[in-house]
Structure 1
């Protein structure tokens, strides 16, 4: 017997995605009434395009959170991979396919190195990734001197509009390359987590690593995949960010880690592993982006937004702490 639509609706509303959708609607109405220019099509398009880079990294971070770990080094990984790609494209004159391949491989290797260090050193993931974040970024700044690369090739820096529609007044809707990349990443990650055996292993390791090990799951292999996948998506986000601004700046991506983490946990990803959805992460990203954009348009200090980010992560940590009173036997 099929469940009535009213029952499915009530069950959906009670999920993190349901709560976030309702809160997002309230924020849009609130800022639409009080923030000048918030509901303009230009602001909406810019807000959506501005979300793409952080959303790609947040989706990668989701996989690490689901497996029961945490990674703070993804922005530094993105910066290293982006700058290496910029160097290869402008100084070594490598063709586009090799530049992109080198970028993604660098990100995956740096992410996988995190997993290997966590396993071999038997240290918590947050300590290892804070250390590698400092290491990766310091080495990047040391060898580059903080110099930006401005002469990116046209295939990388030129804007790409895949579809555009212009209506009356300022009504303009467009789909650009960063939006397409985000949609592909979101669909691929959702498929990996929900439709593949590897995704089921990721959830199993995050939910109960000891039970997963007893049924034959190779914990290190799953962690290598999760951290390597985050590194790969971070590198991809670095490519997208340089595409949007037309240059490679060594420190452009560092400093936004809390925004990415807050988006993931706000979207329902547990800090203790086992749960989280791509849809929830995307809603978390959009909600925080709307909040930041609306506060900026109202002239409220950006430090107030940072306070809200800290409270989101703190509230998530408190909530997961109440749910998991007993220590958990986890690698990360």
Structure 2
């Protein structure tokens, strides 16, 4: 059994590619496992912050959203950005990809441990996962412990099919785990992150599907997350009446906005409701938000 697991991990690793970016410029592309000599050619300094991006099914590091996120992280966060590409496996059926979940997780854990071995600091680390990649980010973070704790993990509409309804405490994956939810059909209904951002209609659907069809509520999540770097997405102070809260909600400050957060506010945890709009960039103005808030009173 152990031999079969090692063989599976090796088989998965052979299909994976690491792409390194510094200042939004690709500095290196290399295969797995990550070798020390190869890492030196990436221009990534172990003392820098580092971010790792994990994509979803039928996706790759060449997707528009991945490139846009690399650019925004490079501008706002700085340091080294690493996109882990497993698109060869992800291009097949969802069930085949799901069957490789453990092997992909173990391979990514090995990659990150190699970074730590070469001086990278977990407290400077950030993981982002979209859809299937969101489940990977959580599993990787949990697998690295107790020896290593990733500082920040953000996920976008973490995949539900194949994973729900099994309850997982995603908050244990990192020091600060923030999960954005946008769909009821493809996204998980397990809301166990430190902070659960419920986008649009209770985190279950987005009004903008009426103005565009190609992304759907699921695909819109990552676009909204990227837009939140430059546009304010205001949170409601109280849950909408139609979103029945099952537990105590967050104490949301006035004018609180969601998105990538450099210094995580540990006072704002739980479910946070963020209305979205019909058209790009999908945010609401303060005036629109106040109108919604007044209707909730």
Q: Same fold (TM over 0.5)?
A: no
Which structure ranks higher in relative contact order (CA pairs < 8 Å, sequence separation ≥ 6)?
A: 1
Higher helix share: 1
Which has more strand, going by share of residues? 2
